[in-house]
């Protein structure tokens, strides 16, 4: 059953009678908030703004098109890679439910995240266990990612402490701030949190990944590693599950415990 939710942008209650105001809503469900004009999908996620134009970019199905990344990753999802992390997404029943609109299109959401979200520096802090610091320049913070269920990543990607990867960050404005970012309380941030997908683990676009690494300033790589080592020293048991379906959830404990 699809949840009935308030508008994620302004908090107004879902209207009882909903008429599609766009082709996307007609095909996929959802509604436009009569108060603020936010376009909301059938699962309560903001995916755009009524009347907003998206210059030079194709309209997405699962992302908020009213904002644009400063450094879009433009990476293509490798289904074989995602299947290793999330085989349940490729089961026939799940694919059928997604196709008819009865399940949230998580594979499509991940694919659009890799295409449109913000590419930033990520640095391997340790390999045993595997910990990756995913940097956000908007917060000047890192999310520490754990891959305890996926030790094969170290050998397959020839990882070592200091290895440079690409994190693809999707941001949100709604809800409480991500507690594991330890944001300054006296500073105003444009977002409340972010979800980091490691592009190297989910895309086979080797040339594009190399290009993204070259486009990131050396100072950002150093900052990501510095914050990652400091984080591990101060909070040794705190890390998010880095897998694609869990990396959006702030860490509250050691993922192995």
d(CA 104, CA 28): 10
E-assigned strands of the chain?
Answer: 31-32, 38-40, 46-49, 118-127, 130-136, 141-146, 164-172, 193-198, 240-241
- What are the residues whose beta carbons fall under 8 Å from the beta carbon of 14, sequence distance 6 or more? 4, 5, 6, 7, 31
* pLDDT at res. 54: 46
| CATH numbers and ranges of domains, the chain | 1-68 (no CATH), 69-257 (2.40.410.10)
- The whole-number pLDDT of residue 11 equals 65
Query: In which residue are the tokens 């991500």 written?
Result: 178
At residue 77's C-alpha, the angle toward residues 71 and 78, to 5°, is 140
pTM: 0.75
Which residues does residue 124 pair with via DSSP β-bridges, in sequence order? Answer: 132
As a whole number, mean pLDDT of residues 174-201 equals 90
Confidence at 207, pLDDT banded by 50, 70, 90 = very high
Q: At residue 41, does pLDDT exceed 70?
A: no
How do beta strands 141-146 and 240-241 pair? parallel
CA 37-40-41 angle, 5° bins: 155
Residue 257: pLDDT band (50, 70, 90) is: very low
Burial class (CB in 10 A: 0-12, 13-18, 19+), 130: buried
Is residue 51 over pLDDT 50?
Answer: no
| pLDDT tens readout for residues 100-135 | 777 777 888 899 999 999 999 999 999 999 999 999
Top-confidence residue, 239 or 186? 239
Pairwise CA distance, residues 42 & 208, whole Å: 33
The residue length of the chain stands at 257
pLDDT > 70 in the chain, percent = 70
Q: Given the structure tokens 């959401």, which residue do they identify? A: 109
pLDDT of residue 238: 95
């Amino acid at each position: 059953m699809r949840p009935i939710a308030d508008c994620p942008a302004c908090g107004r209650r879902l209207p009882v009678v909903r008429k599609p105001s766009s082709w996307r809503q007609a095909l996929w469900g959802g509604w436009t908030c009569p108060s603020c004009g936010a376009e909301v999908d059938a699962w309560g996620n903001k995916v755009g703004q009524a009347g907003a134009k998206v210059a030079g970019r194709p309209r997405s199905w699962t992302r908020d098109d009213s904002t644009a990344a400063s450094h879009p990753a433009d990476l293509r999802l490798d289904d074989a890679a995602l299947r290793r992390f999330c085989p349940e997404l490729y089961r026939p029943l799940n694919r059928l439910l997604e196709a008819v609109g009865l399940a949230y299109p998580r594979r499509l959401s991940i694919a659009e995240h890799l295409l449109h979200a913000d590419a930033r520096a990520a640095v391997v802090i340790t390999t045993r266990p595997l910990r990756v610091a995913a940097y956000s320049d908007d917060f000047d913070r890192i999310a520490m990612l754990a891959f305890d269920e996926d030790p094969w990543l170290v050998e397959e990607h020839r990882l070592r402490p200091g290895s440079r990867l690409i994190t693809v960050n999707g941001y949100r404005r709604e809800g409480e701030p991500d507690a594991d970012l330890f944001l300054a309380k006296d500073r105003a941030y444009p977002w409340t949190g972010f979800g980091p997908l490691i592009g190297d683990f989910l895309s086979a676009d080797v040339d594009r990944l190399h290009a993204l690494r070259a486009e990131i300033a050396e100072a950002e790589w150093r900052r990501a590693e510095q914050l990652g080592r400091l984080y591990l020293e101060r909070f040794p048991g705190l890390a998010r599950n880095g897998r694609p379906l869990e990396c959006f959830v702030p860490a509250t404990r050691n993922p192995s415990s």
